[in-house]
């Protein structure tokens, strides 16, 4: 969730910066409307995209440990005491950030619903009349004209006395005809769930301003008197806060609107802006989706007949150092001849020449599927603490899975001095097939390297529960 949020913020921020540099001061208002809507959609959907790409690699794995050595790292198996019963665990509380996100989202949704209800109430409370494509809602008090969907809100006195100039009617009817309220509803709904994205506030403002540009453009095209319309706007504008969710004249954007009426974008500049915006969208989409890379090991000695022979595994310390110079290696330095010796992590490049010759790697956990009896036993919260793909879950959550969904697992006995408040005696870590594939890839790219200068006793005790 956090990674998704960061990607969403980054993508929308890049698109906003591009809008400011390429489009904000241009008269391509219809294209700008589509750009802003598409930016929101890409910020929401983009982080979820995935385009797997297969890359061939000549990677040769490091020297494996001999079987006799691997056995020293195998977990010690113990039998589960027959009468061992612990206190039932307590439920884990949700993460604090999730509670904060839910609370803020709920408040914003309530605010949105309340404002919608307020508009609906005004529509039902006051008289309405049909005017061209709009339904005019006659308000008892004098108010600045504003629209929502196909409703036009104006003062009843102004309407009856025809105190609204034709240019203003054209302006408001353009908002209705082009369905600008749908854009506003869309961005407000997105803001309720993506309020953590600061770029949304700019998109919301830019979208409202562009709606005014579109309406002004329609007025000037129809009435062909830019100077008169500018004077009319100046006479009508007052620093009054607009009604939420509606399109209305605003004092804050007057200067930009007046300037935009006299500007013109050349076809060459318009073509460049469209091309640059399209390229940016394509690059961001690819950058967001190209994240799953499947490596296929290809032997350097592959024959043309299709038979593949195993590549020779390098064993000399110079070749290993070139490949793993930055990797950490587990060592057990001599310390007065006492066992077990303390483990020390060193970079491969920092090892002595004698230590480099004794570097091996510990193979990853083998794939193994639990039996039905084991899987059912893990559902007992009094005896087992369960982690699935690195996350602590309730034992009852295992009902959503079956034994074949587990690709590998390991467990350990929890000693009294390390026992958690939940009271379980044993803890097991399970990996689904997807997580196991990720784990194997990680182990291949960053293997567990050890210097077998001495043979320490394993400290971890793994568990095989009694059936």
C-alpha–C-alpha distance, residues 448 and 359, integer Å: 10
pLDDT of residue 114: 93
pLDDT at 440 over 80: yes
pLDDT of residue 30: 93
Cα torsion for 383, 388, 393, 398, to the nearest 10°?
-70
Question: For 122-135, what is the mean pLDDT?
Answer: 88
Q: What is the band of 41 on the pLDDT scale with cuts at 50, 70, 90?
A: very high
Least confident of 168-177, 223-232, 332-341, 443-452: 332-341
Closest CA to 380 of 419, 423, 432, 433: 423
**Residue 125 DSSP code:** H
pLDDT at 42 over 80: yes
Q: What is the band of 250 on the pLDDT scale with cuts at 50, 70, 90?
A: low
Task: From residue 107, give the alpha-carbon distance in Å to each of 71, 100, 103, 154.
Answer: 58, 11, 6, 30
How would you label 243-275 residue by residue, b for 16+ Cβ within 10 Å and e otherwise? bebbbbbbeebbeebbebbeeebeeeeeeebee
pLDDT of residue 214: 93
pLDDT at 234 over 50: yes
Express as a percent the part of the chain with pLDDT over 70: 71
Closest CA to 63 of 453, 365, 451: 451
pLDDT of residue 78: 40
Pairing of strands 151-155, 146-148: antiparallel
Sheet holding 391-393, edge to edge: 391-393, 384-388, 426-432, 406-413
List the beta bridge partners of residue 131.
Answer: 134
Alpha-helix residue ranges (DSSP H) falling in 237-266: 254-260
Please provide the average confidence, as pLDDT, over all residues in the chain.
76
| Structure tokens that stand for 50 in this block | 């995935």
Transcribe 95-120 into DSSP letters: PHHHHHHHHHHHHHHHHHHHHHHHHH
Residue 140: is it exposed, middle or buried by C-beta count within 10 angstroms (0-12/13-18/19+)?
Answer: exposed
Predicted confidence (pLDDT) per residue in 306-351, tens digit:
333 333 334 455 555 666 666 777 676 665 555 555 677 777 777 7
pLDDT at 100 over 80: yes
pTM of the model: 0.55
**Structural domain boundaries of the chain?**
2-51+95-286, 64-92+314-467
Question: For 137-160, what is the mean pLDDT?
Answer: 86
pLDDT of residue 16: 93
Sheet strands (E) in 266-325 = 293-297
Query: Taking a C-beta distance cutoff of 8 angstroms, is the pair 133, 173 a contact?
Result: yes
Task: From residue 90, give the alpha-carbon distance in Å to each of 11, 252, 316, 376.
Answer: 40, 55, 53, 20
Predicted confidence (pLDDT) per residue in 178-197, tens digit:
999 999 999 999 999 989 88
Query: Taking a C-beta distance cutoff of 8 angstroms, is the pair 347, 389 a contact?
Result: no
Cα torsion for 67, 70, 71, 74, to the nearest 10°?
-140
């Amino acid at each position: 969730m956090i990674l998704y949020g960061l990607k969403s913020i980054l993508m929308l921020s890049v698109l906003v910066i591009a809008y400011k540099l390429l489009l904000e001061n241009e008269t391509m208002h219809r294209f700008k409307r589509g750009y802003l809507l598409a930016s929101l959609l890409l910020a929401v959907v983009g982080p979820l995209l995935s385009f797997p790409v297969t890359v061939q690699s000549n990677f040769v794995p490091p020297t494996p440990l001999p079987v006799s050595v691997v056995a020293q790292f195998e977990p010690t198996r113990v039998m589960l005491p027959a009468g061992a019963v612990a206190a039932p665990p307590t439920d884990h509380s949700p993460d604090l950030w999730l509670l904060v996100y839910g609370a803020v989202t709920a408040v914003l949704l309530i605010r949105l619903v309340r404002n919608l209800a307020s508009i609906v109430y005004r529509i039902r409370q006051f008289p309405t009349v049909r005017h061209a494509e709009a339904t005019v809602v006659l308000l008892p008090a004098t108010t600045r004209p504003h629209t929502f969907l196909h409703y036009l809100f104006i003062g009843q006195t102004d309407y009856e006395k025809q105190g609204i100039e034709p240019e203003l009617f054209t302006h408001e009817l353009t908002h209705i005809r082009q369905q600008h309220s749908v854009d506003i509803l869309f961005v407000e709904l997105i803001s309720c769930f993506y309020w953590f994205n600061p770029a949304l506030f700019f998109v919301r403002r830019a979208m409202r301003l562009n709606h005014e540009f579109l309406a002004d453009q329609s007025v000037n095209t129809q009435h062909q008197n830019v100077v008169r319309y500018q004077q009319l706007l100046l006479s009508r504008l007052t620093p009054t806060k607009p009604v939420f969710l509606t399109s209305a004249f605003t004092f804050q954007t007057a200067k930009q609107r007046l300037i935009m009426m006299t500007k013109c974008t050349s076809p060459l500049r318009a073509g460049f802006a469209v091309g640059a915006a399209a390229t940016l969208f394509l690059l961001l989409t690819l950058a967001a989706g190209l994240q799953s890379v499947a490596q296929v090991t290809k032997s350097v000695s592959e024959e043309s007949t299709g038979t593949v022979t195993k590549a020779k595994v390098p064993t000399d310390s110079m070749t290993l150092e070139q490949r793993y110079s930055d990797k950490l290696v587990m060592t057990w330095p001599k310390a007065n001849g006492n066992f077990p010796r303390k483990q020390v992590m060193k970079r491969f490049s920092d090892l002595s020449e004698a230590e480099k010759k004794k570097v091996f790697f510990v193979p990853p956990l083998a794939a193994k599927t639990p039996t039905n009896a084991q899987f059912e036993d893990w559902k007992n919260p009094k005896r087992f603490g369960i982690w699935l793909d690195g996350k602590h879950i309730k034992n009852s959550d295992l009902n959503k899975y079956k034994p074949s969904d587990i690709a590998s697992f390991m467990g350990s006995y929890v000693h009294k001095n390390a026992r958690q408040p939940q009271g379980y005696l044993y803890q097991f870590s399970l990996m689904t097939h997807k997580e196991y594939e990720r784990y194997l890839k990680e182990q291949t790219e960053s293997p567990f390297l050890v210097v077998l200068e001495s043979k320490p006793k394993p400290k971890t005790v793994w568990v095989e529960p009694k059936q």
